[in-house]
Amino acid sequence: MAERMVYLDYNATTPLRPEVKELMIQAMDVYANASSMHEAGRKAKAEIEKARAAVAALIDAGDPSTVFFTSGGSESNNTVFMTMYAVAKTGSRKKIITTAIEHPCVLNSATHLKEEGLDVVFLPVDDVGKIDMDVYRRELTDDTLLVSIMTANNEIGTIQDIELITKMAKAKGAYVHSDAVQAAGKIPVSVQEWGVDYLTLSCHKIYGPKGVGALYVRKGAPIEPLIRGGHQERGVRAGTYNNLGIIGFGKAAELAFAEVDEYGRNVRRLRNILRDDIVERIPYVRINGHPTDVLPNTLDVSFPGAEGESILLSLDLEGIEVSTGSACASGSLEPSHVLMATGVGPELAHGSIRFSLGKYTTEEDVRYVVEKLPPIIARLRRMSTVSPEEAVGLTRR
């Protein structure tokens, strides 16, 4: 039995906040179909609209009617890409620009449209995960239909300059979409300041329930339903409303909006302690991602000479729950596409761990990790056939 349990996988998902859970328990009695005209239906509808306003406030949308509820980030992203496919079929613009480090639901959606005949460009990134602005500027042409670039990367935490990216795209008349699933609640998000046309959110990343997300659509931007049927969400997303999930989303968004600055300060301090102690106590490590333009809770570290899945399982035995930079745990032997895109070789990519801290992380948790991690890395390196010094592209930060 481990001495303590330390959850450091908040970028994968977050626990349900007690305040959200309490409201959802109360909302179990809000059972009526929000599309019904009777009193119970109107009550359900009112709760949904209250939640919509809270989600709109989280992203500085201004008008709550620009927020549409979905089942999550993947559905929201797919909706945008299939909308662009519909627009491209009747228009002259056929080009979509995205990046090599997007979430798989964006990469796979973009690849699907490429197979359907659209011109899709996957922008390269530099060694800290920032897009190559020279390539971006060159690829922005008059036939560009959509630019889709995530606000912050889920693995290495690098934050892109969405406002500048949008400004450049708008000068060419293109639509702009940003997947802000990892950013919302961790850093301030403003669709009005950034000027994006579409923005994706997911509730379970901000201490709310799973199975509910949102898509922001700027007034006047085209939108085609991915799920057709009834009139729900003004025809954009059919299906009976998920009352419980949406109400929980509203509460989670309200709390995230109120606490975003405090949250950032707290987790950044703990992240920095973890980073500095790892660098001090373990030789030959590489910190992945941008040193400053990075999510305050995210720390991705490569440990050359130690395999990522072995590190993860060894930490798990000590009660420490993290993610690996390798996709081995999901049944693939391929290293992280994000790390590979930043120029990290397969050896380092396979030896990478993502520590993602959250609201309930304590300094004692961080100290416990730093106590348990060095002997694990030392043991695994002794078993390895490749020394850390021999790893390709190794840098020590």
- Distance (Å, rounded) from C-alpha 301 to C-alpha 293? 16
Q: Is 328 a catalytic residue?
A: yes
Beta bridge partners of 178: 199
- Distance (Å, rounded) from C-alpha 117 to C-alpha 98? 16
Q: Which of 167, 201, 206, 204 lies closest to 80, judged by CA? A: 201
Q: Name residues whose C-beta falls within 8 Å of residue 256's C-beta, 6 or more positions apart in sequence.
A: 58, 184, 185, 206, 207, 263
Residue 121 main-chain phi, psi, to 5 deg: -115, 130
Catalytic residue among 328, 340, 370, 386: 328
Where does 242-312 show beta strands of DSSP type E?
A: 286-288, 298-302
Q: Which residue has the tokens 């627009």?
A: 87
Query: Which region holds residue 62: left if phi is over 0, alpha if psi is between -120 and 50, else beta?
Result: left
- Distance (Å, rounded) from C-alpha 120 to C-alpha 144? 10
Beta bridge partners of 146: 96, 175
**Cβ atoms of residues 2 and 318 within 8 Å:** yes
Three-state DSSP at 239 gives coil
- Distance (Å, rounded) from C-alpha 108 to C-alpha 62? 31
- Distance (Å, rounded) from C-alpha 376 to C-alpha 353? 13
- CA angle 152/155/161 to nearest 5° reads 20
- Distance (Å, rounded) from C-alpha 347 to C-alpha 38? 62
Residue 280 main-chain phi, psi, to 5 deg: -75, -35
Catalytic site residues?
Answer: 328
